[in-house]
Amino acid sequence: AVVSTQSTGDIQGAKTLGQLECPCKLFSAVLSHPNVMPRTHFDQLDERFITHLLTEIESTERPPDDPDGILPNIFLKCILSLNLHYTDVKNNRVCDTLKSRTHASNLTEMLLVAFNRAENLTAYFPVNVNSVNKLVTDMMSNPD
């Protein structure tokens, strides 16, 4: 569980694909596990961190070592795996952070493609929850 909070600093501080790929994959894998995340971790995995991930997904500037543009997909997996830990739609920081944004076109497009293909982008372990379906359902179920 400590790995997920340590990865946030690595993810926010890194600027190249080489520096981001391993911490993001580790973060996604750890949070995709069905174990309940400790409450103290929610303080570090806050709106600022989620905003950073969303900003990187929506950014048109790519590092020179990411010519194929895989970073947005890696950041999407981080958001999806984090969203798995919010069980109450009214207190979902991912949805709250999305509501505060003026646009999220890249995120929306990536979600819809995965949703239409019935893909679970964070299926590292055999679980019954599809992370893409859960985020789409959470966004549509949010009363605001």
In this predicted model, what pLDDT tens digit does every residue of 3-16 receive, in sequence order? Answer: 566 677 778 877 77
How big, in percent rounded to 5, are the helix, strand and coil portions of the chain? 60, 0, 40
pLDDT classification of 57: cutoffs 50, 70, 90: very high
Percent of the chain topping pLDDT 90 = 36
- Give this prediction's pTM: 0.87
Q: Which two tokens stand for residue 78?
A: 């981080």
pLDDT classification of 136: cutoffs 50, 70, 90: very high
Mean pLDDT of 60-69: 81
Name 54's Cβ contacts closer than 8 Å, sequence gap at least 6.
75, 79, 97, 98, 101, 104, 107
In this predicted model, what pLDDT tens digit does every residue of 31-51 receive, in sequence order? Answer: 888 777 767 676 777 899 899
In this predicted model, what pLDDT tens digit does every residue of 93-113 receive, in sequence order? Answer: 999 999 999 889 999 999 999
Name 122's Cβ contacts closer than 8 Å, sequence gap at least 6.
28, 31, 32, 77, 80, 81, 84, 131
